[in-house]
Structure 1
Amino acid sequence: MDTKALRQKILDLAIRGKLVPQDPNDEPASVLLERIKAEKERLIKEGKIKRSKKAAKTSDTPHYGNVPFEVPSGWVWCELKELCNKFSTGPFGSMVHKSDYIDNSDYPLINPANIIDGKIDVTKAVRISADKAKELERYILEEYDILLARRGDLSKCAIVINEAIGAYCGTGSFFLHLNGMDARFFSVVYGSTYLQKILKSECVGATMDNLNQGVLENILMPYPPLSEQQRIVAEIEKWFTLIDTLEADSTNLQNLIASTKSKVLDLAIHGKLVPQDPNDEPAIELLKCINPKAEITCDNGH
């Protein structure tokens, strides 16, 4: 069974509204989106967040017409920047040098290499000095921020939780914070074939793929009601747990098969796989016919 393809199929069904049934009692995503836009405008006027450089009034019009695929009633399409309260590139390489790294400090710097299987591994992160940490305060990661690899493997995506809260975004990453979209649902969309195809076609670099913030901000996102996002995430977690079990069972089965083959061969060369027939010509006699001068040492002529 191709479990990788199965996982991908589940993600693709999820972002098309085909994984869980819709609930007509859910608040339509369009209503929530209007509230998000109003709240965002308020925060911009208060100077708490900045308006996206490319955020003209395009977000004031519904995203109908030339959409990537049909979504259920109650869903809408919106650009990612409409949902972002925070979207930032990590510090430039010139801002962090090897001399800033200190073993066992309290300030981990998270790079794409620390994003493993959708989780952030803080234990292997490089660490920076207290002075450098103060200089990089604007890059502190908060709970439920989303961390993305900015170069190389652009499928890397992780949610900031547990030990990663309070760490610092590294030079090879983006981090963003969403309003009105469950961070886990964003991860579902980000890992889907739909979005990954866009990144692979639009974010091509000379030596490695590089994620372009402008491309990402303007990607159309399928946007379900918030309660449905949470139902989708719960359903995916259920299926992925089952797939994990299948993969573990498959690994155990393969190990058992390999062990059994080795045992069978071991029994065979020790004469313990099949019973001996006393009517068989002893091997010692056959060997003498093949090479009369052979020196034979054995305690069993057969």
Structure 2
Amino acid sequence: MNADRLLAHYERIADAPDAVARLRRFILDLAVRGKLVLQDPSDEPAVELLKQIAKEKARLVKAGEIKSPRPIPALSEIPFLIPPSWRWSQLAEIGILSPRNEAPDALQASFVSMPMIAAEYGVANEHEVRPWGEIKKGYTHFAEGDIGLAKITPCFENGKSAVFRHLTGGIGSGTTELHIVRPLFVDQDYILLFLKSPHFIESGIPRMTGTAGQKRVPSGYFAHSPFPLPPLAEQHRIVAKVDELMGLCDQLEAARSVRERARDRLVSASLFRLNAPSPETFQADARFALDALPALIARPDHIKALRQTILNLAVRGKLVPQDAKDEPADELLRRIAKEKARLLNLGEIKKEKPLNPITVENQPFDLPRGWSWVRLDSLSRLITKGSSPKWQGVNYVNADDGILFITSENVGNYKLRKLNDLKFVERRFRDIEPRSMLKQGDFLMNLVGASIGRTAIYDLDLEANINQAVALIRLVEISRGLLVPYLLHYFNSPAAIDFMLGSRVITAQPNMSLTDAREFPVPLPPLTEQRRIVAKLDELMALCDRLEASLVATAATRRCLLEALLAAALAPTEDRELQAAE
């Protein structure tokens, strides 16, 4: 076995995706291929064990305890090489399939439902105690020491199987979605580890029959799959070794969990100190976070939290220093108000209801000097969303015959998404609600459901309509694009999302009304500071992108190394091949 290299490199691959789970499957694969423990020439070979099993079956048939078994079909092919002392067999040959129990109705017995059967190796089955008379009909029978395999999807793919032990009254019944074998002179736990092995499960998945969601493993696959049978003494050694190595996997998993928890605490503590800063220590905390976090970050959720923290600092005026020479935001607001009044006089925009003022008492958080709180409608010439009742009888058409139809699914964080499967509607809908026709540079914001808060800029050349997409608003910013970069960051920040999911949310699912959107509070910096904020955000988000790419590359390297080491460990040695050829 070439497993030594795997263990020597384990520290490098321990953080690979599913490393310990892969190692567990690897152990089971080695076990059923005869590569986990050494063979002992003094062991009685498996061919003798098969003779004993055949003799015992004949005795049981003669005694009337079992029916005469059906003929065992010959194996058409063998999936891999096994040691010379082993033999290829089948579960139908080494045990009794689908046994039945006979017992008084009053006997207390065990009932086992599917959730009581574990997918993990080494986890015992649970059971409920019930009178045998209540559970003997309509369920699958088994007894102490029988092995059950879950045959329905996804339980089979997940590895649900068990050796039934500690059964009340020595017998039990359970879910009908089980195949059962009662072994004769074969170690039950060896059969179990075979049923949980990657080879058996992966070979069985293509053979499942039935409709989606109700696929099942045929009884023929369970009964007649090639079963690698070692000598009985070696079976015991294999099971003992598997138990030992699974215990080692438990330790590795526990150690990894300790590392992960420690790393998570450090990341969380660092980000917390930035999100709830102390004026006295903020600069030092910020330097520590930016210096230390790249070394601590190990998962995508860490990077997501870092991005959110950076945005949170930006919209609270803590990412870049203020400059007393900057024109305050109030001056910018006066110019925007003057422009809005001009557009109103020209009839280019409609007069809306007055907005509730943002007072000192209802400010979401304190702002630096020079900043101002403002309602979103004060910065916009139009905030609207489509009216779906006018869309009765909508038909989708080819791109050449219609106009693009943007839905909430197309609006991601910062940018449009799912553009490879766009929908188009009839051109007549251009005139149904002209206010819902998009132009380049318009904001699109999700207002409903799990996607609430995703905000992007419409940047496609195609004319488009959001008439039926009631989960979107179209926001036309009034300052001819000057505020767009900053607002886009703000809308995707935790502060903005908190507002959307806060007191303005109504109905059973997250939902912002158009009035709520108009009254959306925006922390507005001076225009020159906005530019510094956006530049710093671009720099730090690029750093996050590099960290994310590094994580992906590292994970891929670890995965490739793990795959290579597993393949090498499973590869037959020249001696093994020569031995098998003999």
> One fold, TM greater than 0.5?
yes
**Offset of 1:66 from its aligned partner?**
4.0
Find the aligned partners of 1:135 and 1:283 in 2 and give their Cα distance. Answer: 77
Find the aligned partners of 2:363 and 2:413 in 1 and give their Cα distance. Answer: 30
The residue aligned with 1:158 is 456
Q: How does 1:1-302 map to 2 (within 5 A)?
A: 1=297, 2-55=302-355, 63-90=359-386, 92-97=387-392, 99-105=394-400, 106-121=402-417, 122-152=419-449, 153-163=451-461, 166-170=463-467, 171-172=469-470, 173-180=472-479, 182-201=483-502, 202-206=504-508, 208-270=509-571, 298-299=580-581
Find the aligned partners of 1:269 and 1:192 in 2 and give their Cα distance. Answer: 49
**Offset of 1:21 from its aligned partner?**
1.9
**Offset of 1:191 from its aligned partner?**
1.7
The residue aligned with 1:287 is none
Find the aligned partners of 2:507 and 2:354 in 1 and give their Cα distance. Answer: 22
CA deviation profile, 1:141-200 (whole Å, cap 9, x unmatched): 122211111322112111122336x32124231111122461221122222222211211
Q: Compared with structure 1, are the counterparts of its residues 117 and 81 closer, same or farther at alpha carbon in structure 2 (3 Å cutoff)? A: closer
Find the aligned partners of 1:43 and 1:257 in 2 and give their Cα distance. Answer: 60
Find the aligned partners of 2:336 and 2:326 in 1 and give their Cα distance. Answer: 17
Q: Which structure is richer in relative contact order (CA contacts within 8 A, separation 6 or more)?
A: 1
Q: Which amino acid is 1:86 matched to? A: L
Q: Compared with structure 1, are the counterparts of its residues 83 and 99 closer, same or farther at alpha carbon in structure 2 (3 Å cutoff)? A: closer
Q: Which amino acid is 1:186 matched to? A: L
Q: Compared with structure 1, are the counterparts of its residues 99 and 140 closer, same or farther at alpha carbon in structure 2 (3 Å cutoff)? A: closer
Find the aligned partners of 1:162 and 1:219 in 2 and give their Cα distance. Answer: 26
Contact 2:443 2:458 in 1 (8 A): yes
**Offset of 1:297 from its aligned partner?**
5.5
Find the aligned partners of 2:457 and 2:506 in 1 and give their Cα distance. Answer: 25
Find the aligned partners of 1:124 and 1:136 in 2 and give their Cα distance. Answer: 24
Q: Which amino acid is 1:265 matched to? A: L
Find the aligned partners of 2:531 and 2:501 in 1 and give their Cα distance. Answer: 28
SS of 2:541's equivalent in the other structure is helix
Find the aligned partners of 2:359 and 2:340 in 1 and give their Cα distance. Answer: 19
The residue aligned with 2:73 is none
Q: Which amino acid is 2:309 matched to? A: K
**Offset of 1:118 from its aligned partner?**
2.4
**Offset of 1:97 from its aligned partner?**
4.2
Contact 1:100 1:132 in 2 (8 A): no
Q: Compared with structure 1, are the counterparts of its residues 127 and 136 closer, same or farther at alpha carbon in structure 2 (3 Å cutoff)? A: farther
CA deviation profile, 1:251-290 (whole Å, cap 9, x unmatched): 1211111111121122122367xxx9xxxxx989xxxxxx
Q: Which amino acid is 1:87 matched to? A: I
Structure 1 consecutive aligned stretches of length 4 or more whose deviation exceeds 6 Å: none
CA deviation profile, 1:23-67 (whole Å, cap 9, x unmatched): 333211101111111221222222211122243xx66xx844542
**Offset of 1:113 from its aligned partner?**
0.6
**Offset of 1:140 from its aligned partner?**
1.3
Q: Compared with structure 1, are the counterparts of its residues 99 and 79 closer, same or farther at alpha carbon in structure 2 (3 Å cutoff)? A: closer
Find the aligned partners of 2:527 and 2:445 in 1 and give their Cα distance. Answer: 22
- Structure showing greater radius of gyration is 2
Contact 1:111 1:149 in 2 (8 A): no
Contact 1:109 1:127 in 2 (8 A): yes
Find the aligned partners of 1:78 and 1:134 in 2 and give their Cα distance. Answer: 33
Q: Which structure 2 residue ranges, 5 or more long, are not aligned?
A: 1-296
Alignment length (residue pairs): 274
Find the aligned partners of 2:399 and 2:520 in 1 and give their Cα distance. Answer: 39
Contact 2:440 2:461 in 1 (8 A): no
Find the aligned partners of 1:27 and 1:97 in 2 and give their Cα distance. Answer: 50
**Offset of 1:10 from its aligned partner?**
0.5
Contact 1:52 1:81 in 2 (8 A): no
Find the aligned partners of 2:527 and 2:440 in 1 and give their Cα distance. Answer: 19
- Output the TM-score relative to the length of structure 2: 0.44
Contact 1:74 1:225 in 2 (8 A): yes
